[in-house]
Homo-oligomer: A and B are copies of this chain.
Amino acid sequence: MSEIIRLETGKRMSNIVIHDGIVHLAGVVGEPGGDVGQQTRDCLAEIDRLLALAGSDKTRMLRAQIWLADIASGFTAMNAEWDAWVPAGHAPARATGEAKLAAPEYLVEIIITAAKA
């Protein structure tokens, strides 16, 4: 029975769950008030922080789901940040769809699954 390691664990969710070499991150959002580009940058910086805590990094992402509160207005700006952040040759499997998020101020949420280094 493989051990489950949880980091930054609260009553509702853990920011990081590690099991059998796989790192599951909770959905990450940006700071309310920023536009979708800024909130995407916030998300990606937080993902870097969480992956480092988990003993992984952005070269070892397996899967990403991206939810935009308004995909028609946000897709291009989100992608500009995403494309600049993903290391060449290490892009994960990705899917992007529109979903309203926990509060209307949140414009983007990113869910990452990665492999431990």
| Identical chains in the assembly | 3
A16-34, CB < 8 A from B: 16-17, 19-22, 24-27
How many chain A residues sit at the interface, stated as a range, is 35 or more
Q: Is A107 an interface residue (CB 8 A)?
A: no
Q: Chain B residues with Cβ under 8 A from A95's Cβ?
A: 26-27, 65, 67, 109, 111
User: Complex: how many Å from CA A3 to CA B59?
Assistant: 12
Jot down 18 A-B pairs with beta carbons below 8 A, ordered by A.
A4-B90, A9-B91, A11-B83, A12-B83, A12-B86, A13-B91, A14-B94, A16-B93, A20-B22, A24-B93, A25-B93, A26-B93, A27-B96, A71-B101, A72-B100, A95-B111, A97-B99, A98-B100
Residues of A within 8 A of B (CB): 1-2, 4, 6, 9-17, 19-22, 24-27, 60, 62-65, 67, 71-72, 75, 79, 82-83, 86, 88-102, 104, 109, 111, 113, 115-117
